[in-house]
Amino acid sequence: MGVVVQNIERADRAIIDGLAECGVATVHEAQGRKGLLAAYMRPIYSGARLAASAVTISAPPCDNWMVHVAIEQLQDGDILVLAPTSPSDAGYFGDLLATSAQARGCKGLIIDAGVRDVADLTQMKFPVWSKAIFAQGTVKETLGSVNVPIVCANELVNPGDIIVADDDGVCVVRREEAAAVLEASQKRVANEESKRKRLAAGELGLDIYGMREKLKEKGLKYV
């Protein structure tokens, strides 16, 4: 406890931006159905979609001191990812911290705990995915760490990993796998586009994907 890692590696901006365009569901599929944070992580407002490099915070329960420390480590295009060391719904983060983070180019917050001032954050267009919305205040008494690996909402997040987040939730992509995941994601998108047109025209998935034979083999009966 009590460590701040100052130099972390980040993925290419172009790769990160590409992942943002693909969105959570596609990226999650493209990397082998892994990396999704728990379903209870919900956005405070609808319509945000982003990808960004994780600056991680391991915070004591109900203590947001380390958020101030982490903000100094932010670079343009980063996102804060906070996991408390003991489960908490307390409101670690509000509009003042968002103002400070946004001033340093931070794109948002992923927090396995509570957030507050959500009306202000919505107006500022500072997106947050959180476990709770709760005004409960925190203290500044105990050290935590910044830019160490953390487990957030049941997924491991390393500093510099890419966070993809939208209305479907939050997905983490390992930095070293990001290029490959982007490529696989873009293939899915291209492939889905042609499928979408055929489906919209009334063709059935049963035919497009050739499922009828396999269903018959498994014993599906039409009555």
Q: Least distance to a second copy from the beta carbon of 190, Å?
A: 13
Q: Is 209 in the site for a second copy (CB under 8 A)?
A: yes
CA distance 151 to 35: 11
CB nearer to a second copy: give 75 or 99. Answer: 99
Q: Which of 47, 190, 210, 213 binds a second copy (CB under 8 A)?
A: 47
Q: Least distance to a second copy from the beta carbon of 51, Å?
A: 14
Overall residue count recorded for the chain in this entry: 223
Total of residues contacting a second copy (CB under 8 A): 94
Give whole-number Cα distances, 167 to 1, 50, 185, in Å.
33, 10, 18
Q: Of all helices (H) and strands (E), which one includes residue 130? A: strand 128-133
CB nearer to a second copy: give 14 or 212. Answer: 212
Q: Is 186 in the site for a second copy (CB under 8 A)?
A: no
Give whole-number Cα distances, 212 to 41, 197, 201, 203, 205, in Å.
37, 21, 19, 14, 10
CB nearer to a second copy: give 13 or 196. Answer: 196
Q: Which of 76, 125, 156, 176 binds a second copy (CB under 8 A)?
A: 156
Q: Is 188 in the site for a second copy (CB under 8 A)?
A: no
What b-and-e string marks burial along 2-35, b requiring 16 or more CB atoms within 10 Å of the CB? eebeeebebbeeebbebbbebbbbbbbbbbeeeb
Which residues from 115-134 bind a second copy, rule CB under 8 A?
Answer: 116-119, 122, 132-134
Q: Which of 11, 80, 81, 88 binds a second copy (CB under 8 A)?
A: 88
